[in-house]
Structure 1
Amino acid sequence: MEFLDAAADIGLIERRAILSCPACNEAIEAEAATEELCPFCGEAFADHGGVRRKPVYRLGVHGTRDIPWVIVIHGFNTHGEWQQDFSWRMGNKLKYSAPVLIYKYGLIRFSVLVRWRHRQLARKLGTTIRSAVEYARANRIPEPPDVILHSFGSQLFVQLLAMTEFDDLKFGRVIAAGTIIRPDYNWTERISQGRLEAVFCHCGGKDWAVPLAQYFIPGTGPGARRGFSDNAVINVMNEHYGHGGCFEIKELEANLAPGGLWDRFLRRHPSMFDGDPNLYRPKAWRPMWAPIRGIVRIVGIFLMALIAAIAITSISWAWLKAIIWTGIARPF
């Protein structure tokens, strides 16, 4: 029994509970088990020790899936240090070679505020991925890559999917963490188009950054706090995660360990999450009223520009004073 439970915990077999009446031994549905009386014999469950539960085990009809190769894309205002940790642990996790492409678009800050910069970065991402796909095929890896997205990297990914010039690019499993994609994004359409296979959204209950995204970064929303309303997406909520909580070493190891959430999503059939207690079904989401978002964005851009101007002025004065002090220049 312990062996079977261990196999079920890591997703090798399926474990289910058969419910039965303690009085007549008839099998009953889960809904009937919540009632007081047995629908067959009319006896009270509590009078006979309560509903009986017997575990049964079944070998899953879907086998394990090999991870072909992976692309990891970081967020803005960061160098994406977690990408190296992920690559190292993925390489040590598997008994076969699964290359990891660490994509870095540079340390950007203010340019996330304008759409044209989004498209520019997405086009650069698409060009890099297309070259990587061609190289992988030349090295006998024909399968599309899985993708790990964080924060602004997730916005670049959906921008890429919207560009017709990159319609040839297809992807496998997609994990979005700390995502700023709109919660009402139509993932089902992308799946039906064959652009990707399945989507996993790892939400964080303490991610205080993403609710602000829709006010400052055009076309975004609090995906990592609200989850996606699209039924095709597997949403999982961790109430203790901040914006990068799932990339902390301990959490990354747990998610990638055999039977971990990411391991199961990447290696098993998505149906293995049916009925999983970790699943999270979000409520309907509506973006904030456009005029309010516009006003907040204008104020935010003004404040950022003011801070930048003050910083530049301070640096210029410090530089000028240094020149004067060293005698390279003399005050008038």
Structure 2
Amino acid sequence: MEFLDAAANIGLIERREIFSCPACNEAIEAEAAAEELCPLCGEAFADRGGVRRKFVYRLDIRGTRDIPWVIVIHGFNTHGEWQQDFSWRMGNKLKYSAPVLIYKYGLIRFSVLVRWRHRQLARQLGTTIRSAVEYARANRIYEPPDVVLHSFGSQLFVQLLSTPEFDDLKFGRVIAAGTVIRPDYNWTERIYQGRLEAVFCHCGGKDWAVPLAQYFIPGTGPGARCGFTDNAAINVMNENYGHGGCFELKEVEANLAPGGLWDRFLRWHPSTFDGDANLYRPRAWRPVWAPIRGGVRVVGVVLMALIAAIATTSISWAWFEAIEWTGLVRLL
């Protein structure tokens, strides 16, 4: 029994609690078991020793899926050091080859403030993925890749999904962590279109960065704090996670371990999360009033421009002083 319970706790099998009347021996619903009288025979449960309970276990005949290959995309203002740790542990986790494409679009800061840069980066991402898909097919890997996204990398991904020239690209399971995707994003439509199979949002209760995203980065929202309201999305909240909490080494190991959240999502059918205690139910979300967001964004752009100008001036003066000092040394 302990073995079956352990298997059910990690999603390997399904566990159901069955109730029956001690008088008529008929199965009854859980709601009826909470009443005093049997809805079928009218006898009082207490007179026969109480409602009978037993657990039944069922193996999920759909089994597990193989992870074909994975694409990992980092956030802005970072080199995505976590990508290497993830790739190494994914490679050691599996008993078969599942290539990991580590995609890096460079260290960007100010350009996240403008939409044209989003589109440019999304096209670069799409071109790289299309090339990788062709290479994978040449090596007999025909399944679409799974994707792990962090922060601004998630925004580039949804920008890619909305770019018509890349409508041919299909994806498997998608994990979004520290995401700045709008909580009301229509995942159901993307799944219906065949663009992806399922989406998992790993939320962080201490993620201070994403609530600010909608003010400065156009088209974004606090997905990692609020979760996705679309019923097709699987949301899990960890109250202790910051913006990159799930990519800390111990957390990556725990999430990818057998029965871990990411392991279950990537390898098992999404329905294994139905009724799971880890699920997070997001509330309805509405963006801040557009004029407020626009005003804050304008102020942010102006401040960034001033900082950049001051930094450039400081560098110029430092370079000038260095030249002057070198000339003085030579004169002496």
Into which bin does the TM-score normalised by the smaller protein fall?
over 0.9
> What's the counterpart of residue 12 of structure 1?
12
CA 1:12–1:314 in structure 2 vs 1: closer, same or farther (change >3 Å)?
Answer: same
The residue aligned with 1:224 is 224
Q: CA deviation at 1:315?
A: 2.4
Give the 3 Å change call, closer, same or farther, for CA 116–328 of structure 1 in structure 2. farther
Q: What TM-score, normalized by structure 1, do the two folds share?
A: 0.93
Q: Percent identity?
A: 87
* Matching residue's letter, 1:90: M
Change (3 A) 1:53 1:89: farther
Tell me the CA shift for residue 329 of structure 1: 9.1
Q: Is the 8 A contact 1:4 1:57 kept in 2?
A: yes
Note the 1:112-131 alignment, pairs <5 A: 112-131=112-131
Contact 1:246 1:252 in 2 (8 A): yes
Structure 2 residue matching 1:56: 3-state secondary structure: strand
TM-score by length of 2: 0.93
Task: Tell me how large the CA RMSD over aligned residues is.
Answer: 2.0
In structure 1, the residue matched to 2:316 is 316
Contact residue 323 and residue 329 of structure 1 kept, 8 A: no
1:167-246 to structure 2, matched below 5 A, reads 167-246=167-246
| TM-superposed deviation, 1:33 | 4.0
Matched, 1:101 2:104: no
* Map of 2:82 onto structure 1: 82
Q: Provide closer, same or farther for how the CA distance between residues 327 and 52 of structure 1 changes in structure 2, counting only shifts above 3 A.
A: farther
Aligned length: 329
Cα distance change of structure 1 residues 8 and 324 upon mapping to structure 2, 3 Å threshold: same
Provide the residue aligned with 2:256 in structure 1.
256
Deviation, 1:204, is 0.9
Aligned-partner Cα distance in 2 for 1:262–1:69 = 14
- Counterpart contact for 2:22–2:45, Cα < 8 Å: no
Q: In structure 2, how many angstroms separate the alpha carbons of the residues matched to 1:52 and 1:306?
A: 73
2:137 aligned with 1:140 = no
Using the alignment, how far apart are the partners of 1:49 and 1:210 within structure 2? 55
* SS of match in other structure, 1:199: strand
What is the letter of the counterpart of residue 227 of structure 2? G
Residue 295 of structure 2 corresponds to residue 295 of structure 1: yes
* Separation of aligned partners in 2, 1:192 and 1:276: 24
In structure 2, distance between residues paired with 1:66 and 1:187: 23
Distance 1:217 1:48, change over 3 A: farther
Shift of 1:31: 2.6
Deviates more, 1:126-135 or 1:198-207: 198-207
Structure 2 residue runs of 5 or longer lacking an equivalent are none
